[in-house]
Amino acid sequence: MVIIRDEKKIARLRQVGMWANFVGLGVLIAGLILPLIIQNDQILIFQVLAIPVGWLLSQVGIYYTHRFVRDPRPDEVLDESLRKVARNGRLYHYVLPAPHVLLTPAGIIILVAKYQVGNVSYANGRWQQRGVSAVRRLFSQEGLGNPTAEAQRDIQKLVKFLKKHAPQVEEVPVGAMIVFTTKNGGELDVKDAPLPTMHAAKLKGVFKQTTQGAPLPAADYQALQAAFDRSAGKLVAVAA
């Protein structure tokens, strides 16, 4: 497997996450403590503004921290899960319109990485997350959201990219998988989910079962690789 990763982008967004956390926490603390020390109308106005601003900054920090600061990062977990089974694949991280894209001889797979912990279920068209306290939801992780809709948006963006950068490829099988990357993050009850959904530890097995299609025509595969590699620019491809 070959991995192409935008390390500079990761480093830049890591700094954004760390600074947003630091500044957000500082603003929150100042908004809570200063009114106890200095009592006047201006300080009260500062408190009213500081608490929501500090919280918003902390949410920005949470978003970037879980993607670019935590160890291992989601992209690194995907690398480890796929390196032995996607031997002929090319895995692009933070290079294309979707964050994690695997190009295989049989087509394209978008990997929607979810770090959230707790027990996750899918039923009747709805995703639910249980077993996570309200405090943790508020201050240490963003909500689960709708992974299906997230995958569909990524597919649409990538298809639009391909129409522009590889117009000679008329039909490309573009699929998606939802992968929970936190070890021991909770239970999944997602047998009815519209897309393959699994913990990273089971990605290897699911990948083997779902990527047995006929190979793309050689010309189409080469056109896709060329389009993706042009988007990567001078990024170094690393053999895994």
pLDDT digit string, tens, across residues 96-131: 999 999 999 999 999 999 999 889 999 999 999 988
Q: Distance between CA atoms of 138 and 207, rounded to whole angstroms?
A: 34
Output the pLDDT for position 140.
Answer: 65
Q: Distance between CA atoms of 44 and 47, rounded to whole angstroms?
A: 5
176: confidence class by pLDDT, cuts 50, 70, 90: very high
Strand partners, 237: 4
Peptide bond preceding 72 in cis form (omega within 30 of 0): yes
Task: Please state the pTM of the whole predicted model.
Answer: 0.91
pLDDT over 90 at 39, yes or no: no
Q: Distance between CA atoms of 222 and 88, rounded to whole angstroms?
A: 13
For 156, list phi and psi in degrees, rounded to 5.
-60, -40
